[in-house]
Amino acid sequence: MTPRWGRWGPDDEVGAPNLIGPAEVRAAVGLVSAGRVIKLGMDLGPATVVPPHRKRIERSMSRDGGDYAAGARRPGGFQFAEEVWSFAAHSGTHIDALSHAWYDDQLYNGFPGNGTRSTTGAQRCGAEKLAPLVTRGVLIDAAPGSSLPASTPVTADDLRASGVALRPGDVVLIRTGWVTAMVSDPLGYCDHEPGIDTSAAEWLAEADVAAVGADNYAVEVQPAPPGEMFPVHQLLLRDCGIPLIENLLLDELAAAGAAEFCFVAAPLPLVGGTAGPVCPLALL
């Protein structure tokens, strides 16, 4: 796909979320009728499964109840606990920043890949540039009541067949049911996931969506065709500036049966990061 750069100016680091303006926000909140809030983000803890090649999630208590049991005392009887967290940015539910993936040494909008360094992190398109998303959400359930088999592609034809009518600025969530494989088969979860292929990605990009999410490891089907790596990442993140939302929990939302809803996601603004951890909400 020809890179769609320059559409929001040569300095733009936001990409497709620029498609969400006041009208889209108003329309989104107008979809709320039941007053129901559904969490789409997963718990993050030492027991959360992460791919074998990534750092495990660590929680280190710097002060806890054991200290008081062991005799520690503070003025006024005050007792408190604190901890330090350490995890890979792409753990759990997160939004891939536009700095996450690229090719030919150029990120989205032509920014140099060389600008992402050990010393600085991503100098362009870091996670702190991810716009908060408040817009219409649309769920496409590719496996109602079940789970797609490993490595099943979700194609443009599949999306068309869903009958969904997209509008610019929509966030499209694709349910594969695959997230249940995370615990039972952590390695297969990454390596053989069902997900969208490049035909679907192009169709979504042409529909001017603001972001694409799924309940799998990387939104896109794995493995990629021979000789390729993450072609949907290359197309959506780098060529089109469309953030990806990964490791979503979509079963409760699917069960609720809402065709559309108000989607809200405000990722942690990690400066120079390549992803923003987030707990997105669907408001029904």
Q: Segment 37-96, which members bind a copy of itself (CB under 8 A)?
A: 37, 39, 41-48, 54-56, 58-72, 74-90
Q: With respect to a copy of itself, which residue has the nearer C-beta, 108 or 148?
A: 108
Nearer to a copy of itself, 158 or 198 (CB): 198
**Closer to a copy of itself at the Cβ: 148 or 282?**
282
Closest CB to a copy of itself among 142 and 212?
212
For the segment 99-158, give every residue that binds a copy of itself (CB under 8 A): 99-105, 112-119, 121-122, 128, 132, 134
> Is the Cβ–Cβ distance between 178 and 196 less than 8 Å?
no
Query: Two tokens at 57?
Result: 């999630």
Nearer to a copy of itself (CB atom), residue 47 or residue 259: 47
Cα 58 from Cα 36, distance rounded (Å): 32
Q: Please, what is the minimum distance in Å from the beta carbon of residue 144 to a copy of itself?
A: 26
Question: Which helix (H) or strand (E) covers residue 29, if one does?
Answer: helix 22-29
- Minimum distance of a copy of itself from residue 61's CB (angstroms): 5
Strand partners, 39: 281
CB of 7 to a copy of itself, least distance (A): 21
Residue type at position 46:
P
161 binds a copy of itself (CB under 8 A): no
DSSP at 38? E
Residue whose C-alpha is closest to residue 247's, from 282, 208, 279: 279
Looking at residues 230 to 269 of the shown chain, list those that interact with a copy of itself (rule: CB under 8 A). 230-231, 233-234, 262, 264, 266-269
In the complex, least distance from residue 101 CB atom to a copy of itself, rounded to whole angstroms: 4
SS3 180: helix
Closest to 99 measured CA to CA, from 128, 69, 70: 128
User: Is 207 exposed, middle or buried (CB count within 10 Å of its CB: 0-12, 13-18, 19+)?
Assistant: middle
CA distance 151 to 193: 5
Length of the chain: 284
Give the contact letters, 209-228, x = binds to a copy of itself (CB under 8 A), - = no.
---------------x--xx
In the structure encoding, which two tokens stand for residue 59, read together?
A: 């929680």
Q: Strand 133-141 and strand 171-175: pairing? A: parallel
Name the nearest CA neighbour of 264 among 168, 136, 141: 136
Candidate ranges 97-105, 167-175, 197-205, 253-261; the one touching a copy of itself (CB under 8 A): 97-105
Q: Considering beta carbons, is residue 26 or 160 the nearer one to a copy of itself? A: 26
> Applying CB under 8 A, what is the total number of residues that bind a copy of itself?
103
Q: How far is the CB of 280 from a copy of itself (least distance, A)?
A: 7
